[in-house]
Each structure stands twice: as structure tokens, then as C-alpha cells.
Chain A
């Protein structure tokens, strides 16, 4: 296949902050003449930083799903909810659309993000030439859906704040919620440190 002209091959640098194009940048300590952002040919140490963030997220994914996110104390009983059992509670109380929504946002999305990022990192590391367009699409999907896994954190914060009725019912936040929040933040940051241009670099 014919090699295509890229910014790198033409000596043109794109400022990721303001999208201006810089010619003859004096790297590595160059700044964008228009908006003064630091310029890099590729995000610095993208592969290493993203790999560590994804590993950290994968490790914390376990406590996030095993530890309870909320303990509900009522006069009738005590209930420890993990993320999955929270979904089941919603399902049994008859609100299945909400249950599906929480299942997707809290279980599927974080897992999908970790897996997709891991696959992308591995493919860049192996310099795989295959299915670049699909991988690029996967990355864009991960970027787009990432924020939606915050949903459960917000729901928990509202529940734990409102349900503090002395002797009737109270909700205590569990460490699972902390681990879950950490997974969400780590995967969000990982998607930003990953330089998607790496997927195309030796095309």
C-alpha cells in the first residue's frame, strides 16, 4: 500500500488544545504559538501511562463488584447491596428498564472499557496492522460511553444523603462505592492518556 502523507511525515504538528497546525516546532520544549499549550508529536509515554492506569482499574474492578456499595438498615432488616444486587433489587421491584440501565452503566460499561483499552494497547504494542478502522471505532465508543458509569455513584450519593431517617431507615455507603468511583476515574483518565494516533502510526 502507498504510504500516505501524515502530519508527522510532513513535519506538521497538531495542537490538541486549539487544533492549530504548527510547522517546524522545536521539540521537545515547544509550545503552540496560538494558545501556548505544550506540543508533542504524540502524547508523552502514552502506552506506558495508559497501561498502568488500565491495570490499576482492572485490579480495583474486583473490590468494586465484590464489596457492598451500600448498607441499608431498616427497622425490618439489614441489607448489604453490591452493584449487582442493586440491579437485582431494581429488577424485583418491577422497574426493569431502570435495572437494565444500571446494569449497562455500572457493570457492562466499566468492563467493556477495561477490555477494549487492553486490546487496543496490546495491538499497538504488537504493531498490529489489522482492522485499524474497527479499533479506531472501538476507541471512540469507549471515549463516548465512559462518563455514563458515574451514574451509580450519583444514585448512591443521593440515596445515602436522603435516607437518614433515625430508627426507621438509613443507608451507609460501603467501600465498594469508593473502589467503583476509582475504576470510573482511572478508565476515564486512561482513555485520555491513550493517543489514538498510535493505532495508525505505521499504516
Chain B
């Protein structure tokens, strides 16, 4: 372990101190967070990732919203919402919606499980670096929580002229949002690499 840590936000060098038990240490100059306590275990992270897997399945397999209007009913799924944009010839927007609500969360969870399950048996997954790189990139584009709020806005606007029934996927999306948030905080890059280095000893 190097005796120095460098602030990622302002490059100030700090003498390394033991990780805090609770809360976080921050940079003396720019107040960016530097160190977080070592909490959680590989097993706990795998458990949350697996429940995120189930929630991802539910969110994509079941309808988000069912709308009853004039005696007929319409419904849409998560991917259906993006396909609606595609059908109206907005392929780039459709791609953006699919990336941020389906592909990024799926790859994020898949990449984590791929890395974490071998770690449990103190092994490194093949192609670890590439997979972790995908994970960091995908995390930046996984916007389920924003989608949740966006669908709330859509529901309010629709409720004006039709009967709206929230589908199973809407509830599982809400839970998925919580699962992904806790998963991200449990598996920060620093924490992942700490586990990986411990497994190599």
C-alpha cells in the first residue's frame, strides 16, 4: 500500500490514514470524499446483484402501465417505450432510452456477478480488466431512477383522459432503483479492487 493517497478531484497528496470506521474522510483542500469505510462483503454484494437480476427480469417481462380508454386497452413494457420512439423514426432517441434503461442496468449487474462469483472462491474471472471497464462505463449510463420519475410524469399526464393501471414492471422498477443504488455504493471501484487484491494473496 503506498503511503500517499491523491485526491481524484484536485490532485492534492495526503498521507494515508486508516480507513474511517463510519462516515468518510474528505480532501483537505477541495472536500471531495477520499476514503470510505470497509463495509459489506462479497456475499452481500452477490445477494443484492441477484435480486437486481430478478427485478430486471420482472421489469422487462411485464407491462409498465395499462391504459383503458374508450373501451379498449393499451399497455407498454420498458422496451416497448423505446420501440415507440423507433416506430416514429427517432432511432437515436430510442437507442438512448434502451441504453439507459435496459442495456446499461443489465450489463452492470451481469458484469458485477461475473466478477464477484469467482471472487467468492478466491479466483479472478478471466478478462477481469475489460469487464470492470464495461462496468464503470455502464454505471455512468444507467438511469433507472430518472426513468421512474419520468414514468410518474407520464402517468400524471395520461390520468387526465384515461384510466391508468400501474403494471408489475413499474413496482419492480422502483425496487430495482433501490437495488442498483445500494449495489453501486457497495461495489465502488476502490472496494472491488480491495476484494480482488485480497483474493490474490
Contact = CB atoms under 8 A, between A and B. Distances in A.
A101 B161 CA distance: 21
B2 to A, nearest CB: 5
A66 interface: no
Interface in A137-173: 137, 140, 147-148, 150-165, 168-169, 172-173
A172 B88 contact: yes
Interface string B99-130: 01100000000000000000000000000010
A94 to B, nearest CB: 9
Contacts of B147: 150, 154
B178 to A, nearest CB: 17
Given A133-B31, A153-B150, A162-B67, A178 B101 contact: no
The secondary-structure label for the interface of chain A is helix
Interface residues of B, number: 61
A36 interface: yes
A39 interface: no
Given A154-B81, A155-B157, A21 B6 contact: yes
A84 interface: no
B160 A93 contact: yes
B69 interface: yes
B90 A177 contact: yes
Contacts of A102: 153
Interface in B115-154: 129, 132-133, 136, 140, 143, 146-147, 149-154
Contacts of A154: 81, 97, 101, 146-147, 149-151, 153-154
B119 to A, nearest CB: 15
A14 B96 contact: no
Contact of B13 (A10, A37, A136, A169): A10
Given A35-B193, A173-B88, A203-B29, A19 B158 contact: no
Contacts of B136: 17
B153 A101 contact: yes
A4 B29 contact: yes
A148 B147 CA distance: 9
Interface in A29-62: 34-37
A165 B68 CA distance: 10
A6 B150 contact: no
Most buried by A among B151, B154, B193: B154
B197 to A, nearest CB: 8
A95 B156 contact: yes
A7 B13 CA distance: 6
A162 B88 CA distance: 13
B176 interface: no
B82 interface: yes
A16 interface: yes
Contacts of B10: 6, 136, 196-197, 199-200, 203
Contacts of B32: 136, 140
B25 interface: no
Interface of A: 4-10, 12, 14, 16-21, 23, 34-37, 74, 89-90, 93, 95, 98, 101-102, 105, 132-133, 136-137, 140, 147-148, 150-165, 168-169, 172-173, 177-178, 181, 185, 192, 196-197, 199-201, 203
